[in-house]
Chain A
Amino acid sequence: MITAKKLVKRFGLKTVLKGMDFSVEQGEFVALIGPNGAGKSTFLRILSSLTRPSMGMVRVAGYELPKQAAEVRQRLGVVSHQPLLYVDLTASENLKFYGKMYNIPNLDARISEVLEMVGLTKRKNDLVRTYSRGMQQRLAIGRAIVHDPDVVLFDEPYTGLDQDASAMLDEVLRTVAARGRTVVMTSHDLARTEDIATRFDVLTRGKIAASATKDDFGRGNLLSFYKNVIAEGRNE
């Protein structure tokens, strides 16, 4: 579903991604973890066609980036730490706007379905500026899946959320993944990530340093697995 080969991204003289290889099968929930500045967000921006790679090949849902960016965008949903919502519009109006941009048929029915899924039906006519951070993040997920994408990218979705809001977000993430969608998520919250992802890739120094499933390192051991990989990277 997602393939990146020998991916390089440079910002001026600084090389962020240094020949990165990465692939995700359909229906997988991959957590991309790594220290700050490792290039996780840059990589997700390349996958979402918001940034052009300097070199290398990227395919998402069978389409090549950046050549077939419009086709990729049709099949992609993105949730970042910013909600990408208009605070002076209501939840319904935000979804209606994005629905029109994606040319969704039966839009009103789809909006009701999405609001129900993210638990915001009762507040659908309230302005987004009156929402808590957790509610905004749930609506952001609704916005990202309103066009029923095959691939969903989450960039640090837990940023700024308290424990209750994070737990609620877990449920929404599980629902999103349960529908067979391919998910790639970056996060620093390893405990939550371990619960919901099926595979864990450690991105450090511009490359994937290790990739493992829960079976590979054992339940509750993601933190030690991560620390070992980072320590090995430093020693090289």
Chain B
Amino acid sequence: MKEERSSNYLRAIFAVAWKDLAAEMRSKELLSAMLVFALLVIMIFNFALELDIKTRNSVTAGVLWVTFAFAGTLGLNRSMAIEKDRGCLDGLLLAPVDRSAIYFGKAISNLAFMLIVEAIVLPVYSILYNTNLFKPGLLLVILLGSLGYIAVGTLLSAMSVQTRTRDVMLPILLFPIILPILIAAVRASGGYLQDLPFDQILPWINLLIVYDTIFTAISFMVFDYVVEE
């Protein structure tokens, strides 16, 4: 009985994620908006900042995370708006599954969209700024930062989509809460780019892991209350 319930739960999570990915592969509305925005931001920074190698390594982390964070809000808003605009959120809530399965399904697809954008932005940034971003440690930090960002963002987008000013509301709610994740991600990324010793980077990585865990657990517990009227 317990096994059956957990297999239903996993099936629902993957059904939600599959549905989002399949729909986006057709429409490409969300990914194209995120990508165009992200590429424009790094282009503008490229023209705005005349950088020597040393300065470049110190600002790259900031530029990257500003790009990911703002492009991410576009994706989160759109992902939940698709559910709300045609009443599909009600369709999801009517399913006889624990509502946290809907949260995890949406979080998986949102994370996939964010990682796809990052996978395209990183090589473009490397070419434009002549900086090697393909360091395993840096990639791990980007993954951990994105996880925390999406964990909070998916929950808050479900909350903000119910308001009339949802496009404005999400960044206002999201950025103060994810500030610890952004700070830790920028500092850890900067550490890898400046080749700092690992023991100076480790506290920031630990902070990221702790915040990811806390935010995911809180979202799991409160999602049901956020979506219910």
A residues less than 8 Å from B18 (CB atoms)? 97
Interface residues of B in 172-229 (CB under 8 A from A): 228-229
Establish whether residues A88 and B94, one from each chain, have CB atoms under 8 Å apart when the complex forms: no
Establish whether residues B94 and A83, one from each chain, have CB atoms under 8 Å apart when the complex forms: no
Contact indicator per residue, chain A 81-105, by CB within 8 Å of chain B (1) or not (0): 0111111110001000110111100
Closest to B8 in A: A103
Interface residues of B in 19-68 (CB under 8 A from A): 19, 22-24, 26-27
Establish whether residues B97 and A101, one from each chain, have CB atoms under 8 Å apart when the complex forms: yes
Establish whether residues B90 and A101, one from each chain, have CB atoms under 8 Å apart when the complex forms: no
B residues less than 8 Å from A85 (CB atoms)? 86, 88, 91
Q: Which of A50, A103, A127 contacts B93 (CB 8 A)?
A: A50
The SS class assigned to the B binding surface is helix
Establish whether residues A84 and B8, one from each chain, have CB atoms under 8 Å apart when the complex forms: no
> Which are the 10 A-B pairs with shortest beta-carbon distances?
A82-B87, A84-B91, A101-B95, A100-B15, A88-B23, A73-B96, A74-B96, A51-B229, A88-B27, A88-B26
Q: Which residues of A contact B (CB under 8 A)?
A: 45, 48-52, 70-71, 73-74, 76, 78, 80, 82-89, 93, 97-98, 100-103, 127, 143
Q: Does B12 contact A (CB under 8 A)?
A: yes
Q: Which of B24, B90, B91 contacts A98 (CB 8 A)?
A: B91
How far apart sit A227 and B75, CA to CA, in the bound complex (Å)?
50
The 18 listed contacts between A and B (C-beta, < 8 Å) are A50-B94, A52-B228, A52-B229, A70-B96, A70-B97, A70-B98, A71-B96, A82-B86, A82-B87, A85-B88, A86-B23, A88-B22, A88-B23, A88-B24, A100-B15, A101-B12, A101-B16, A102-B95
Total chain B interface residues with beta-carbon distance under 8 A:
27
Please indicate which of the listed interface residues A52, A70, A86, A87 has the most CB atoms of chain B within 10 Å of its own CB. A86
Establish whether residues B229 and A45, one from each chain, have CB atoms under 8 Å apart when the complex forms: yes
B residues less than 8 Å from A48 (CB atoms)? 94
Closest to B15 in A: A100
How far apart sit A114 and B166, CA to CA, in the bound complex (Å)?
36
A residues less than 8 Å from B22 (CB atoms)? 88-89, 93
Establish whether residues B90 and A73, one from each chain, have CB atoms under 8 Å apart when the complex forms: no
How far apart sit A98 and B91, CA to CA, in the bound complex (Å)?
8
Establish whether residues A101 and B92, one from each chain, have CB atoms under 8 Å apart when the complex forms: yes
A residues less than 8 Å from B96 (CB atoms)? 70-71, 73-74, 101-102
Closest to B105 in A: A101
How far apart sit A97 and B13, CA to CA, in the bound complex (Å)?
11
How far apart sit A76 and B22, CA to CA, in the bound complex (Å)?
27
Closest to B28 in A: A88
B52 CB, nearest partner CB in chain A, Å: 47
How far apart sit A80 and B86, CA to CA, in the bound complex (Å)?
10
B residues less than 8 Å from A51 (CB atoms)? 228-229
How far apart sit A69 and B22, CA to CA, in the bound complex (Å)?
29
A residues less than 8 Å from B82 (CB atoms)? 86
B residues less than 8 Å from A86 (CB atoms)? 19, 23, 82, 86, 88
A residues less than 8 Å from B94 (CB atoms)? 48-50, 73, 76, 78
How far apart sit A80 and B18, CA to CA, in the bound complex (Å)?
25
How far apart sit A127 and B25, CA to CA, in the bound complex (Å)?
13
A residues less than 8 Å from B228 (CB atoms)? 50-52
How far apart sit A93 and B23, CA to CA, in the bound complex (Å)?
10
Q: A78-B90, A100-B12 are in contact. List 11 more A-B contacts (CB 8 A).
A: A48-B94, A51-B229, A52-B228, A80-B90, A82-B90, A84-B88, A85-B91, A87-B86, A89-B23, A101-B95, A102-B96
Contact indicator per residue, chain B 117-147, by CB within 8 Å of chain A (1) or not (0): 0000000000000000000000000000000
B residues less than 8 Å from A100 (CB atoms)? 11-12, 15
How far apart sit A50 and B18, CA to CA, in the bound complex (Å)?
24
B115 CB, nearest partner CB in chain A, Å: 21
How far apart sit A82 and B8, CA to CA, in the bound complex (Å)?
27
A residues less than 8 Å from B19 (CB atoms)? 86, 89, 93, 97
A69 CB, nearest partner CB in chain B, Å: 8
